[in-house]
Amino acid sequence: MRTTGRGAAVVTGAAGGLGRGIAAALHADGWQVLLTDLDADAVAAVAAPLGGWSRALDVRDEAACVEVAAAAAGRVAGGLGLWVNNAGVLTTGPAWTHDASTRRRLVEVNALGAMTGTLAALAARAARQARRARPDTSPPRL
C-alpha cells in the first residue's frame, strides 16, 4: 500500500484527451491516479508516465466499477478520495436519425455509467468508513 496525502483517484475514459489531461493534473497534484478506459492498451500507454496504474473498464458494468473502486480504495493509505466520471460517447447528427442501439448506448454510458461509477465509489468509501468506525470491544484497561 502506498502512502500519499491525497489518496487514490479514478478517472474513467482516461485514454482520450480530456481524461488524459484530468489524470495528468491529478497526478501532478499528488493523487495516485487509476486510469481506466475501454481500450486497455491505450490507457496503459497514457498511464505509463503517470505511474503506470491502469485498468480496462466498461462503465456500463456495475461489478467492474465496484471492483475498480475497491482496488483503488485498497491501494493507497488514504483510500479512494475521488472518482471522475469522464467516460462518454458522442454521436453527431439529429437525434431522430439515431437508431435504438445508438440511443441505448448513449444513455448507458453517459448517464447510467456515471451513476454506476458514483455509486461504486460511494460504496467503497462507506466500507472504508465502516471499518474505521468499529467500536473497541476490548475490556477496559485499569
E strand or H helix at 35, and its extent?
strand 32-37
**Domains of the chain: residue spans and CATH:** 8-132 (3.40.50.720)
Side-chain half-sphere CA neighbours of 102 within 13 A: 10
Quick one: pLDDT at residue 30? 94
What letter represents residue 22's amino acid?
I
Write down the residue that cell numbers 475514459 correspond to.
Answer: 13
The answer to whether 68 and 75 have CB atoms below 8 angstroms apart is no
Helix (H, G, I), strand (E, B) or coil at 54: strand
Centroid of chain to Cα 114: 10
Q: From first to last of its 142 residues, what are the pLDDT tens digits of the chain?
A: 444 468 999 999 999 999 999 999 999 999 999 999 999 999 999 999 999 899 999 999 999 999 999 999 999 888 999 999 999 999 999 989 999 999 999 999 999 999 999 999 999 999 887 776 666 566 666 5
Quick one: pLDDT at residue 128? 80
Quick one: pLDDT at residue 109? 97
Quick one: pLDDT at residue 141? 62
